[in-house]
Structure 1
Amino acid sequence: MFKTRIMIALAATFLSSSVFADVHGHDVEHAEHAVDAPACTGFGPQTPRDIDSHHGDNKLAFSLSPSYKDMNLCNLHFHVNAEHKAKEYAIHAEGEHGADGGYQCSMSKHLSKAELAATAEPVCPSEHGELKPGDTIEVHWVHSSAPVTPGPTLGACLSDNVKNPDLRVEAQVFTLVNDPKALDFNSLDYHGKTVNGYKQADAIPSNTGKPVVFAGSTTGPKYSEATCSPLQVTWSVRPSCAKLDINSVAKWCKGNAFKEDHAHGVRKLVTTPSLLSEIK
């Protein structure tokens, strides 16, 4: 079976509720984060993880999704600090964005004064602060095998016609710089592009290393090792950071198809082997 029976039952439940819209940190910014407790049991592999470590003992396997090019883009959002960890983004984040954890790109410590120059106005402000040059963000392009249209929250990834779709997240970690010559977030957005019948982002970085692909779950600060996510997601995480013009992110936060206006929090790194899949 391409999906377990558990996934089918859960998907039907999530479709008719607001829970699915929350699983990546949407609308749960006030959620209290679980303290350290025994790891949950009976759940499938969890995310985020250290993508340089391929070990995992979780036995609840599921088939990986097709390529994102054979799926519909359904949501686009980002988290402040990298949720995943890799050699190039392994600096544990601390400071004004909260104590949820996450990681910063090593390149963020070697930027020029011009790249770190303050922006003319606050960028994507929220009650957790605003983004500033030098910050790290992790962008998630979420894809679904369901016949859906890109839209707000992860609820856009489900439909009445397909209640147990394959889900796939293409992830890229960026360092924000005050430089119009850096990547423009607008070029990575969705503007109605369709390829072979599938709705696609204008572009997703392809020069930041071979993506590490693995079986996991949804993320966001609502979940922890003690409170696991029940949904099954194929992840494709690029190992290298790239520079992104912070001014283009500011513009995106002022209006986009996904109604996103700020960075979401991160889920603490999952390290317990029984909660991780083996990366092959």
Structure 2
Amino acid sequence: MNKKFVLPTLLLLPMSVLANEAHTTQHEQVTNKFIKSQREKLEQNTVGKGFGPQSPRDIDSIAGENPITFGAAPAYSNMNLCNIHFHKNAEHKGGEFTHYAGNGDGHGYLGGYQYTGSLTSSELAPVHHEVCPSAHDSLYPGETIEVHYVHSTAQVTPGPTLGSCLNESINNPQLRVETQVFVLVNDHNAANFMDLTQIGEVQGFHQALNIPDSTGKPVQYAGSTTGPGYNEQGSPFQVSWSVRPKVVKVDIDSVGQWCQGNPFNEDHAHGVRNLVTNPKLLSEITQ
């Protein structure tokens, strides 16, 4: 973030104005027509083919017309954690993350949704090193990430990619994603991502030990896997989602530390899938 946007006379700065202001200008944003075309192709490639409900979605809207149903996965405490990864900007919309980041580059980067609250100038102060750099971008104070704690009913151990959620004995396990949205701050007193991703064994199940439990009642719904690879194609995976509506501030340096080494081989933020808005591709939220 460019220092010229941090005014010492301001105590609270709106995220929509300041976060990521300087470096987003380095990337082209596709047009609304381009996003509309992707959504049209998604509909064309799924109509009449029996795809189940898709993700991500607006968790504040309960509407959905997809007729495919499947049994909800057990509580995550009765499943094995198999993967943890995160996306730059929230894939889901709702709760405290409803500010549209923009159309992005059409391939999942710089799209999605951002924290709608305010942060102090010190929380937004720039860090003088790259955090989780990739060919697309790095992470900056004030940005939003959506973390996916993926769980499986298969007998598996935590590891890289969705493949870690499957095994030779059960190739169609039930899947659950516990979802928490975070906002990155330059504050070592904020939540520590190393703690938030700590794993261990509890009553015979591999678990993430410190998933936040004070960020509102999770919105639970039937959906699919996400990621920009499904912007124009339907995801064939059935996933039970739990999306917490409130955001947690997390120390950006602790996220950078995690990216430097973790059991999931994650070293950067993933792109986001376009928000699914076609009612025919969404489940009805009944809880």
Into which bin does the TM-score normalised by the smaller protein fall?
0.7 to 0.9
Aligned length: 244
User: Could you tell me which residue of structure 2 aligns to residue 103 of structure 1?
Assistant: 113
- Equivalent position amino acid for 2:143 in 1: D
Which aligned pairs between 1:189-208 and structure 2 lie closer than 5 A? 189-191=197-199, 193-208=200-215
Match runs of 1:213-232 below 5 Å: 213-224=220-231, 226-232=232-238
Letter in 2 for 1:240: K
Distance (whole Å) between structure 1 residues aligned to residue 69 and residue 198 of structure 2: 32
**How far apart in 1 are the matches of 2:72 and 2:39?**
30
Shift of 1:120: 3.0
Amino acid at match of 2:133: P
In the alignment, which of 152, 161, 168 is matched to residue 153 of structure 1?
161
Structure 1 residue matching 2:240: 3-state secondary structure: strand
Aligned to 1:269: 275
Partners of 1:87 and 1:261 in 2: how far apart? 28
Counterparts of 2:185 and 2:170, CA distance in 1: 40
Distance in 1 between the 2:251 and 2:264 partners? Answer: 20
Paired AA for residue 86 in structure 2? F
Asked if residue 241 in structure 1 is aligned to residue 247 in structure 2, the reply is yes
Name which structure has the greater RCO, CA cutoff 8 Å, separation 6+: 1
Residue 113 of structure 1 aligns with an amino acid whose one-letter code is S
Partner of 2:60: 52
Displacement of 1:98 in angstroms is 3.9
Q: Which residue of 1 aligns with 2:190?
A: 182
- Map 1:1-280; keep pairs closer than 5 Å: 35-38=38-41, 39=43, 40-41=46-47, 42-94=50-102, 98-99=105-106, 100=108, 101-107=111-117, 110-191=118-199, 193-224=200-231, 226-280=232-286
Distance 2:203 2:190 in 1: 30
Kindly tell me: are residues 36 and 49 of structure 1, through their superposed partners in 2, closer, same or farther at Cα, counting changes over 3 Å?
closer
Runs of 4+ in 1 over 3 A off after TM superposition: 97-100
Residues in 2 aligned to 1:68 and 1:266: alpha-carbon distance in whole angstroms? 23
Q: CA deviation at 1:161?
A: 1.3
Amino acid at match of 1:56: G
Which has the greater radius of gyration?
2
In structure 2, the residue corresponding to 1:139 is in which secondary structure? strand
CA deviations over 1:89-111 (Å, ceiling 9, x no partner): 1101039x74532000112xx21
Q: Distance in 2 between matches of 1:154 and 1:60?
A: 22
Between the aligned residues of both structures, percent identity stands at 56
SS in 1 for 2:254: helix
For 1:228 and 1:156, locate their aligned partners in 2 and report how far apart those are by CA, in whole Å.
21
TM-score with structure 2 setting the length:
0.82
C-alpha separation between the residues in 2 aligned to 1:73 and 1:173? 18
Tell me which amino acid in the other structure corresponds to 1:220.
G
- In the aligned structure 2, how far is the partner of 1:102 from the partner of 1:236? 18
Local SS of the residue matching 2:195: helix
